């Protein structure tokens, strides 16, 4: 960004770290618990950091949610609709009161911690295309090849994720890890990414990052692909063994995609190369999503 752009930007005074937006994504929950025990870890001179457990009831039950997916409850109209009374709909309104409201949030930056059973490494999910968020994502992805940047932003479509309460922020999506469990190596690396994010914000507030640029590659959401199913909607196949775990790898026309239970291979038959992500994410079976196809954009080498 140019200096004039930078001068127009506001300082980040309040940061919120959210874990357990999905109750069975333990990495975020136990990192938040750690930070609550050792608040000096997330303390920086130029801003305040608070923490929040997104869905405490679902965490107690070791489930993604109680009634409905909390991370789809942040549409502005839903937050204003007093008739919605599922646990997560009520909880979303509470969270919006604490961190939001959308467009005029009490916190300047939300870091939402998620985990996945897919082999997503350490994915930074963009909340919007604000230059600050893009630059932070570029910086974090420069630290490790397993840190990648994913954008599910669809022009003209409202973002209904928790992280959308604030203009600055991102989600960190880590995997592969089974729901309701922890992996030491992932826990440590996620924590390191959080520290890198907070340090980055500190430097930004102190005007130290104005001339820095980093390479940036963004994987842009194209569409979802469902599993093979019968007319009743029941599964008839699974991710092909040759595709399992190959998130962020090229999928080319003619490559195996699914294996049906009776042993038939289903191939990827479209014309363009794509880069699938969230392959075989457990929580997406019920959403009709076997994977998300993305297009790889090298923004800066």
- The answer to whether 220 is annotated as binding is no
Check the annotation: does 25 bind a ligand: yes
22 is in an annotated binding site: yes
- Residue 300 annotated in ligand binding: no
What number of residues does the chain have?
301
Question: Who contacts 1 (Cβ-Cβ below 8 Å, separation ≥6)?
Answer: 9, 131, 132, 135, 210
Shortest approach of a copy of itself to residue 75 CB, angstroms? Answer: 25
Give strand pairing partners of 79. Answer: none
Which strands sit side by side in the sheet containing 275-277, from one edge to the other? 48-53, 14-19, 109-115, 168-175, 121-126, 147-151, 216-225, 291-300, 275-277
Find all residues with CB under 8 Å of 238, minimum gap 6, and list them: 227, 258, 259, 261, 280
Determine how β-strand 265-267 pairs with β-strand 147-151: unpaired
Which residue's CB is nearer to a copy of itself, number 83 or number 234? Answer: 234
Min dist. Cβ of residue 280 to a copy of itself (A): 6
Peptide bond into 136 cis (omega under 30): no
Angstrom CA distances, 124 to 134, 169, 240, stand at 10, 10, 26
Name which of 88 and 281 has its Cβ closer to a copy of itself.
Answer: 281
Least spacing, CB of residue 184 vs a copy of itself, in Å? 4
Nearer to a copy of itself, 54 or 179 (CB): 179
d(CA 241, CA 256): 9
Task: Give least dist CB 43 to a copy of itself, A.
Answer: 16
The structure tokens listed for 49 are 């950091």
Q: Is 148 among the annotated ligand-binding positions?
A: no
Q: Say whether 286 sits in a helix, a strand or coil.
A: coil
> Which of 103, 241 has the CB closer to a copy of itself?
241
Interaction site with a copy of itself (CB under 8 A)? 30, 33-34, 37-38, 62-63, 117, 176, 178-185, 187-188, 234-235, 238-241, 244, 259, 261-262, 280, 282, 285-286
Catalytic residue among 154, 158, 173, 269: 173
Buried b (16+ CB within 10 A) or exposed e, 41-77: ebebeebebbbbbbbebbbeeeebbbeebbbebbbee
Q: Taking the complex as a whole, how short is the minimal distance between the CB of residue 227 and a copy of itself, in angstroms?
A: 9
The nearer residue to a copy of itself, 68 or 212, going by C-beta atoms, is 68
- The structure tokens listed for 129 are 């295309």
**Annotated binding residue at 284?**
yes
- Catalytic status, residue 286: no
Residues at the annotated binding site? 22, 25, 64, 71-72, 114, 173, 284
Residues at the annotated binding site for Zn(2+)? 22, 25, 114
Catalytic site positions: 173
């Amino acid at each position: 960004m140019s200096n004039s752009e930078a001068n127009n930007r506001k300082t980040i005074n309040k940061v919120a770290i959210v874990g357990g937006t999905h109750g069975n994504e333990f990495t975020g929950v136990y990192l938040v618990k750690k930070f609550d025990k050792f608040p000096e870890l997330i303390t920086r001179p130029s801003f305040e950091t608070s923490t929040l457990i997104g869905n405490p009831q679902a965490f107690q039950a070791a489930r993604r949610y109680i009634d409905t997916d909390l991370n789809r409850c942040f549409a502005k109209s839903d937050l204003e609709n007093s008739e919605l009374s599922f646990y997560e709909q009520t909880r979303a309104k509470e969270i919006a009161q604490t961190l939001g409201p959308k467009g005029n949030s009490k916190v300047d930056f939300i870091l939402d911690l998620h985990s996945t059973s897919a082999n997503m490494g350490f994915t930074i999910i963009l909340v919007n295309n604000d230059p600050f968020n893009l630059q932070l994502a570029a910086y974090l992805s420069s630290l490790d090849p397993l840190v990648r940047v994913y954008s599910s932003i669809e022009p003209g479509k409202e973002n209904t994720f928790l992280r959308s309460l604030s203009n600055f922020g991102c989600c960190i999506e880590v995997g592969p890890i089974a729901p309701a469990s922890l992996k030491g190596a992932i826990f440590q690396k996620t924590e390191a990414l959080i520290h890198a994010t907070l340090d980055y914000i500190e430097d930004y507030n102190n005007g130290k990052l104005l001339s820095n640029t980093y390479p940036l590659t963004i994987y842009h959401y194209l569409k979802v692909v469902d599993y093979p199913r019968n007319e009743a909607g029941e599964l008839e196949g699974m991710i092909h063994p040759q595709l399992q775990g190959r998130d962020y790898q090229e999928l080319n026309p003619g490559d195996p995609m699914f294996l049906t239970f009776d042993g038939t291979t289903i191939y990827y038959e479209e014309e363009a190369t794509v880069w699938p992500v969230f392959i075989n994410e457990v929580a997406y079976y019920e959403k009709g999503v076997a994977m998300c196809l993305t297009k790889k954009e090298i923004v800066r080498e």
